[in-house]
Structure 1
Amino acid sequence: MSETIPQQWQEVSSLDDLWEGEMTAVEVKGKSVLLVNHDGEVLAYKNRCPHQEWALDDGDLDGNKLTCAQHLWEFDVCTAKGINPSTHSLSAYPCQVAEDGTISVDVS
């Protein structure tokens, strides 16, 4: 019998501070998390490129394509899948936005 681990939400930001088409890095329990607002949907990822662990918030967000600034690896922020190369993907965290616009992430 497996136990379900309850989610441990941490309030990290406000939707007022993360406009559509923007991304920002926040610290959650000692981990750097990349928040992305794509068309009003907030997504959360480990703020490190899977290639050599460079910070993704230094990169470029163009629509749904996130490009790492260091070696130009590309990712689709809607699916977390790699575009170039397609063999790697982003590490996603559960994320939610409350009715009052508070953004919470679970990194456990």
Structure 2
Amino acid sequence: MKRKIFTTALLSCCFMICMAAVFADLNGKWKGAITTPDGNAIDVAYTFKVDGEKLTGTAVSQMGEVPIDNGKIKGDEFSFSVNVSGTDYPHKGKAYADSCAMDIDFGGNSSHFVVKRDK
């Protein structure tokens, strides 16, 4: 009986780890649009590179290309910031198989948006 419970628990843990790896694969290019607090839509593209729990890459918008700073990933949740014209914009998100849901902080005003994997 104990062996059956142990085996079931072990298989469940392995399954969860594999699923987390599938969902948290942020590596690559992602595209979407952010709606700013004043209602403007900004097309954005992110290129993410994951190395363990470190997230690096770039963000591209009509303002140009900027590096991702302070990037962290744990499981399917991640965070980073970008600096555009001297202002930091923190991001927090959750990765899914083909999309990422993110929140960006515009100095106290938050905006939720989704980016899709660029194929």
TM-score scaled to structure 2, two decimals? Answer: 0.27
In proportion to residue count, which structure has more strand? 2
TM-score scaled to structure 1, two decimals? Answer: 0.29
